[in-house]
Amino acid sequence: MPNFEQIFGVPQQTQASAPGRVNLLGEHTDYNDGFVLPTAIPQRTIVGLGYSSDSQHHFYSQELDQKVSISEKNGNPEGFASYIFGCIQVLERDGYQIPPLNLYVTSSVPMGSGLSSSAALEVATLRGLRQLLNLNIDDIQIAQFGQQAEIQYAGVQCGIMDQMASSLADTNSMLFLDTRTLERRVLPFPAGAEILVIDSGVPRTLAGSGYNQRRAECEAAARLLQVKALRDIADPHAVEILPEPLRRRARHVITENNRVLEAVKIVETFHQTSLHDETSLHRFGELMNASHASLRDDYEVSVPALDTLVAMLQETPGVFGARLTGAGFGGACVALVEEGKADGIASNILTRYENAGYKGNILVPEIP
Ligand code: GLA
pLDDT tens readout for residues 205-248? 654 568 889 999 999 999 999 999 999 999 999 999 999 999 99
Widest distance between CA atoms in the chain: 64
Query: pTM of the predicted model, to two decimals?
Result: 0.95
- How remote is the CA of residue 252 from the centroid of ligand 1, in Å? 14
Residue 46 pLDDT > 60, yes or no?
A: yes
Percent of the chain with pLDDT over 70: 96
What is the mean predicted confidence (pLDDT) over 57-84? 90
Specify the pLDDT at position 221. Answer: 98
% the chain with pLDDT above 90 = 86
Q: Supply the pLDDT for residue 72.
A: 67
Residue 338 banded pLDDT, cuts 50, 70, 90: very high
Q: What number does the ligand 1 atom closest to the CA of 118 have?
A: 8
| 354 compared with 111, residue with greater pLDDT | 354
pLDDT score of 274 more than 60: no
Residues 6+ apart with CB under 8 A from 315: none
CA atoms of 319 and 321, how far apart (whole Å): 6
Q: How far is the CA of 116 from the centre of ligand 1 (A)?
A: 8
pLDDT at 71 over 90: no
Residue 208: predicted pLDDT: 57
Q: What is the pLDDT of residue 189?
A: 83
Residues 150-162: what's their mean pLDDT? 89
Q: pLDDT value at position 76?
A: 81
Least confident range from 13-22, 43-52, 279-288: namely 279-288
Contact 313, 333 (CB under 8 A): yes
pLDDT band at 204 (very low <50, low <70, confident <90, very high): confident
- In degrees, rounded to 5, the angle at the alpha carbon of residue 112 between the alpha carbons of residues 107 and 116 is 60
| Confidence band, pLDDT 50/70/90 cuts, at residue 155 | confident
Ligand 1 atom closest to 23 (CA): 12
Residue nearest to atom 8 of ligand 1 (CA): 158
Weakest-pLDDT range from 77-81, 308-312, 323-327: 77-81
Banded pLDDT at 4 (limits 50, 70, 90): very high
User: Is residue 270 pLDDT above 60, yes or no?
Assistant: yes
Residues 365 and 346: their CA atoms lie apart, in Å, by: 9
Confidence of residue 200 (pLDDT cuts 50, 70, 90): very high
DSSP letters for 157-222: ---SHHHHHHHH--TTEEEEEETTT--EEEEEPPTTEEEEEEE-S----TTTTTHHHHHHHHHHHH
pLDDT value for 73: 66
> 75 pLDDT exceeds 80?
no
Range with the poorest average pLDDT among 16-25, 68-77, 105-114, 203-212: 203-212
338 contacts: CB under 8 Å, gap ≥ 6: 192, 193, 194, 318, 319, 320
Q: Which residue from 129, 124, 130 is spatially nearest to 163, judged by alpha carbons?
A: 124
Pocket of ligand 1 (CB under 6 A): 27-28, 30-31, 158-159, 161-162, 326-327
Q: Residue 272: its pLDDT value, please?
A: 59
Q: Which atom of ligand 1 is nearest to the CA of 116?
A: 7
Q: Residue 178: is its pLDDT beyond 90?
A: yes
Q: Is the pLDDT of residue 74 over 90?
A: no
The amino acid at residue 235 is D
Least confident of 114-118, 205-209, 258-262, 331-335: 205-209
Beta bridge partners of 60: 67, 104
Residue from 28, 32, 109 whose mutation best tests the ligand 1 pocket (most atoms within 8 A of CB): 28
- Calculate mean pLDDT across residues 149-165: 91
- Which of 25, 161, 211 most suits a substitution to test ligand 1, by most atoms within 8 Å of the C-beta? 161
Active site residues: 162
What's the CA gap between 154 and 157, in Å, rounded?
Answer: 9
